[in-house]
Amino acid sequence: MSDLSEPTLSPPLWRQLQLTAQALASIRAGTSGSIAFELVEPALRPGVQSLGFQVLRRLGRAEALRRHLAKRTPPPPADALLCTALALAWDPVSSPYEPFTLVDQAVEAAKRNPTTRAQASFINACLRRFLRERDELVAATEHEPVAQWNHPRWWIERLKRDHPREWQRVLAADNQQAPMTLRVNRRKTSVASYLLALRHDGQQGWPVGDDGVQLAQARPVLQLPGFAAGEVSVQDAAAQLAAALLLDGLPAGKPGAAPLRVLDACAAPGGKTAHLLERAGQTAIEVTALEVDAVRSRRIDETLARLDLQAQVVVADAGRPAQWWDGQPYDAILLDAPCTASGIVRRHPDVRWLRRESDTPQLAQQQAMLLAALWPLVRPGGRLLYCTCSVFREEGSYQIEAFLAHNTDARLLPSPGHLLPQGGGNGRGVPDNPLGDHDGFFYALLEKPAR
């Protein structure tokens, strides 16, 4: 999901608020944000998604205000509309519309929808009181951590424990809009040439990492120079570290030698598979891209086709090598494991509200199982790169500490460890660190010493 568009006044705001509230109600009922916004009719989707993202980033505050305004929680459709209006209106500095306009239009939205019509006067009364008493109400919610940080309480507590010095910075970054970062395809062009192409097109960008370009302003991909021709892909700067970490330092294939055998164990939609192939350059490399979900695996094929790259795409469970492994060890394995996605909440602001505290231990168990199943497939002298787009230590440093304690044939090579999201605004200035404004990630590079 991305927030590429600014909200517009046409179609009418009340209609956009109705649709935003509907999306919020279905996310609260457990639907993922991408599906909830996908259901909005295409012409209205960008505006509704943009409003929806703002609501999700302020929902903790909106719910706290609603509790002060109404003793009883109204039925879900009315509550979603009320919280949508409060989330957008509570802070006049960042509000996308005049609070009075938002309140008028939210009441109009309630009246025009059969599922909220009966609560229209109640919504009107709550929102008018909010306008009259805004400063006092906001002050009354100020001490509530969920209202202040717009994350569930368990998430805030976990971050405090995991990153005692940085937790506030991480939470603040999570509530910002993520920048758009591209990965330049080394096989087709270079970062320097692509920056020139952007400038020629009237767009501003700057280099991040080895292969990345961060844009000053997000754009629909088809408006990017060279996108259809496979010159660039959208990929966060922290995610772009995987290919270099895994491949750099491996012996370059010599002419006539067998190609490097690489396994991308959890591959869809194929962003890192593609980067491995782009980055290999002249080194002969043979990549197997595994994915357990057949529908998602088709996205690997699409990614590779657009970039003109080849890999063997296999639909299978990485945790059951007996079902797909040919018995030949791999020189390098990338395990980009399923995780809570707690590092990428800027791009998926629904994630924090959808996750449950119990998801983390469950996912950590799955990650440990995948690590244990794949480690025997690494040849002596080969490597496994474990990564997650999570900031939780249970899915990162604690996972690897436990793995190293049980696998004495594994050695941890110099690795980035936990990379915390960098909130540099939305990237309107050249960043002061080489990776720029990036998502939260964890990387551990493991080596199996040669016998």
In whole angstroms, how close is the CB of 266 to ligand SAM at the nearest point?
3
CA distance linking residue 148 with residue 4, whole number of Å: 26
Q: Report the nearest approach of ligand SAM to the CB of residue 370 (Å).
A: 6
- Burial class from Cβ neighbours inside 10 Å (0-12, 13-18, 19+) for residue 269 reads middle
Percent of the chain as helix, strand, coil, to the nearest 5: 45, 15, 40
The nearer residue to ligand SAM, 253 or 319, going by C-beta atoms, is 319
d(C-alpha 37, C-alpha 34), whole Å:
5
Nearest distance from C-beta of residue 267 to ligand SAM, angstroms? 5
**Segment contacting ligand SAM (CB under 6 A): 183-191, 195-203, 284-292, 376-384?**
284-292
Minimum distance between the CB of residue 243 and ligand SAM, rounded to whole angstroms?
A: 10
Q: Near ligand SAM by CB under 6 A, which window of 31-39, 161-169, 291-299, 378-386?
A: 291-299
Stretch that binds ligand SAM, among 82-90, 101-109, 114-122, 316-324 (CB under 6 A): 316-324
* CA dist., res. 110 & res. 126, Å (int): 13
Please report how close the Cβ of residue 415 comes to ligand SAM at its closest, in angstroms: 17
Per-residue binding string, ligand SAM, 243-282, x by CB under 6 A, is -----------------------xxxxxxx----------
Asked whether position 21 contacts ligand SAM by CB under 6 A, the answer is no
Contact call for residue 201 and ligand SAM (CB under 6 A) = no
Least spacing, CB of residue 388 vs ligand SAM, in Å: 7
Smaller CB separation from ligand SAM, 126 or 304: 304
Q: Is 291 in the site for ligand SAM (CB under 6 A)?
A: yes
By CB under 6 A, tell whether 292 contacts ligand SAM. Answer: yes
Q: In this chain, which of 134, 296, 298, 379 binds ligand SAM, going by CB under 6 A?
A: 296
Q: Which is nearer to ligand SAM, 61 or 347 (CB)?
A: 347
Does 349 engage in binding with ligand SAM (CB under 6 A)?
no
Phi, psi of 196 (to 5 degrees): -65, -45
Q: Which stretch binds ligand SAM (CB under 6 A): 114-122, 175-183, 279-287, 292-300?
A: 292-300
Residues 83, 266, 339, 389: which is the catalytic one?
A: 389
Work out whether strand 285-291 and strand 260-264 pair parallel, antiparallel, or are unpaired: parallel
Distance of alpha carbon 36 from alpha carbon 94, whole angstroms: 24
**Phi/psi at 205 (5° precision):** -155, 170
Nearer to ligand SAM, 108 or 336 (CB): 336
CB of 272 to ligand SAM, least distance (A): 4
Q: Is residue 319 near ligand SAM by the rule CB under 6 A?
A: yes
**Of 90-98, 153-161, 290-298, 429-437, which part binds ligand SAM (CB under 6 A)?**
290-298
Instruction: For residue 276, give the nearest of 316, 330, 197, 222 by alpha carbon.
Output: 330
The verdict on whether 389 is a catalytic residue reads: yes
Least distance CB 296 / ligand SAM (angstroms):
5
Question: Order of strands, edge to edge, in the sheet holding 285-291?
Answer: 312-315, 285-291, 260-264, 330-336, 378-388, 441-447, 411-419
Nearer CB in complex with ligand SAM: 16/288? 288
Bridge partners (DSSP) of residue 384 are 333, 446
Asked if 274 contacts 307 with a C-beta cutoff of 8 angstroms, the reply is: yes
- Count of residues touching ligand SAM (by CB under 6 A): 17
Query: Which residue in the shown chain puts its C-beta closest to ligand SAM?
Result: 266
Residues 11-26: b if buried by 16+ CB within 10 A, e if exposed:
eebbbbbbbbbbbbbb
* Rg, C-alpha atoms of the chain: 24
Cα(342)–Cα(90) distance, integer angstroms: 26
Cis geometry, peptide bond prior to residue 11 (ω within 30 degrees of 0): yes
Q: Is 338 in the site for ligand SAM (CB under 6 A)?
A: yes
Nearer to ligand SAM by C-beta: 113 or 235? 235
Closer to ligand SAM by CB, 192 or 322: give it: 322
Alpha-carbon distance 156 to 146, whole Å? 8
Tell me the residue ranges of DSSP E strands in 78-231. Answer: 181-184, 205-208, 212-215
Residue type, 451: R
Give me the active site residues, please.
Answer: 389
Which residues make up the interface to ligand SAM (CB under 6 A)? 266-272, 290-293, 296, 317-319, 336, 338
